[in-house]
Amino acid sequence: MSTVIGVMGFAMLSALPASGQAGAGQAATPCAMVGAYYFDGWAGKHRLADTEVWAKDAPTHLSKRMLDEFPDREPIWGWRDDRQEVMEQQIDLAADHGIAFFAFCWYWHPTRQQIDDDPKHTGLNLFLRARNKDRMKYCLLIANHEGFLIGRAENWTRAAEAWMPYLTDKRHVTVDGKPLVLIFNPADGHREGLAALQEAAKKAGLPGVAVAACGRGDPKLGYTHRTHYNITLGYTGGSQEHSYAELVAAHQKAWSGSREQPYIPEVTAGWDKRPWEGPLGLSQKPGWYFPDRTPAAFRQFVQSAIDWMDQHPGQTTKERLVLVYAWNEFGEGGYIAPTKGDPEGQYLKALKSVVLPESHPQGQRH
């Protein structure tokens, strides 16, 4: 969190190899269009900033337990990401390693001012202002959960109006020519609300919207696609250590779609929310954690998603979309951004070796 850490972070970050420069990486053709979820709990003012010394300059979702027990999760640019240069560095890192887009978490509030003031939208706003923003695309993950539920149909109509500037942006991800919107907690969506979204899109000159449910989403309600934000096991099942292989198997079992409702395979880079549990965290209840993840295991997981699409082309998108949880869910243990524990970006290199195989000496996909 200090200035020294920030300078050191940029030094390490700039030392990572950049495939976007002239060379083999520039000619590589991605075998999938990979997006990474971007959660911005790393901006704004911490709720304890005025009472706890450690929280004085902390972002909203940093916890004392994370500082004390999990310091290796600190990004190489520091805990805060609310500087333009940090976003531009993240864009370069992601693009250089085969990530085509960020899926930014977006939160509903009753008023436009509250939406604009939410620090969790900082990353999205910085992305849109970035000098190198054309290196990546983006889409919205509507974080439709407790505290931010959209609810009534009229709220969906108002939310859709707020989304239109993003959905009409040429940099927004499209599926079948329609902007892609991901809905967390699709059970809160309903026919009238999603119909209002489609109507607003057509009024804005769009052919419609591809609406992907994270989990189960009834097509009769208007969900055109399915995916996941992540798949968790034992979320509040008590503090138990399990293997990453168990988590991987649960995802692979869930990969299933149809021509009528294609599925976008989602790969979870890790799950270990202990930094947010208990009174020194964010007071969450203890759950299972999977601490034995490795870059090699993550690579195999990503490869299996590519293989699944190869084997089931009729069940997925023709754009071959894959979603990764996540770029920066440091509190929940799902992250591939370089950290103090992974300063050389081994998880990014693992992803690149699958998505841009021609840029690696061993080059084979299997």
How confident is the model over 173-192, as pLDDT tens digits? Answer: 999 999 999 999 887 777 89
Asked whether residue 47 is domain-assigned, the answer is yes
Q: Return the exposure string of 171-194: e unless at least 16 CB atoms fall within 10 Å of the residue's CB, then b.
A: ebbbbeebbbbbbbbbebbbeebb
Residues 290, 296, 302, 306: is their CA dihedral positive or negative? negative
Residue 141 above 90 pLDDT?
yes
> Secondary structure of 195-234 in the HEC alphabet?
HHHHHHHHHCCCCCCEEEEECCCCHHHCCCEEECCCCCCC
Is 259 within the bounds of a domain? yes
- The pTM (predicted TM-score) of the whole model is 0.92
| pLDDT of amino acid 11 | 47
The whole-number pLDDT of residue 65 equals: 97
In a domain, 181, yes or no: no
177 belongs to a structural domain: no
**For 3-43, how does the pLDDT look when each residue is reduced to its tens digit (9 = 90+)?**
333 444 444 454 454 444 434 334 568 899 999 999 999 99
- What pLDDT score was predicted for residue 190? 76
Q: What pLDDT shows up at residue 41?
A: 97
Check residue 217 and give left, alpha or beta (phi > 0: left; psi -120 to 50: alpha).
Answer: beta
- Computed over its alpha carbons, how large is the radius of gyration of the chain? 20
Instruction: Of 232, 35, 27, give the one whose Cα is nearest residue 138.
Output: 35
Q: Read off the pLDDT band of 338 (50, 70, 90).
A: very high
Closest CA to 18 of 363, 366, 348: 348
Domain count, the chain: 1
> What distance in Å separates the CA atoms of residue 225 and residue 298, rounded to the nearest whole number?
25
Q: Which helix (H) or strand (E) holds 38?
A: strand 33-38
Question: Average of pLDDT values for 256-275?
Answer: 97
pLDDT of residue 145: 86
In a domain? residue 174: no
224, 236 Cβ separation under 8 angstroms? no
Backbone angles phi, psi at 72, to 5 degrees: -70, -15
For the chain, percent of residues with pLDDT exceeding 70: 90
pLDDT of amino acid 188: 78
**Host H or E run for residue 289:** strand 288-289
Q: What share of the chain is helix, strand, coil (3-state, %, to 5)?
A: 40, 15, 45
Q: What is the Cα–Cα distance from 9 to 331, expressed in whole angstroms?
A: 19
> What pLDDT does residue 288 have?
97
**pLDDT-derived band of residue 360, with 50, 70 and 90 as boundaries?**
low
Q: Which of 15-24, 104-113, 153-162, 308-317 has the lowest mean pLDDT?
A: 15-24
Chain CA centroid to CA 319, Å: 18
Average pLDDT over residues 98-115: 96
Q: For the residues 345-366, what does the mean pLDDT come to? A: 78
pLDDT, position 363: 42
Domain hosting 256: range is 32-160+229-359
Q: Among candidates 365, 356, 366, 364, which has minimal Cα distance to 17?
A: 356
- Distance, CA of 271 to CA of 19 (rounded, Å): 28
Residue 303 resides in a domain: yes
pLDDT at 152: 86
| 48 Cα distance to chain centroid | 26
What φ, ψ does residue 284 adopt, rounded to 5°? -80, 155
CA 13 centroid distance within chain = 20
Mean pLDDT of 337-358: 96
Instruction: Please measure the distance between the N-terminal and C-terminal CA atoms of the chain and give it in whole angstroms.
Output: 41
pLDDT tens string 191-236: 898 999 999 999 999 999 999 999 999 999 999 999 999 999 999 9
- Averaged pLDDT score across all residues of the chain: 91
Six token digits for residue 52 = 């706890």
Q: How confident is the model at residue 146 (pLDDT cuts 50, 70, 90)?
A: confident
Handedness of CA 135, 336, 269, 59 (dihedral sign): negative
Parallel, antiparallel, or unpaired for β 174-175 and 99-106?
Answer: unpaired
Dihedral (Cα; 225, 231, 236, 241), 10-degree rounding: 180
**pLDDT of res. 361:** 52
Which H or E run includes 329? strand 328-329
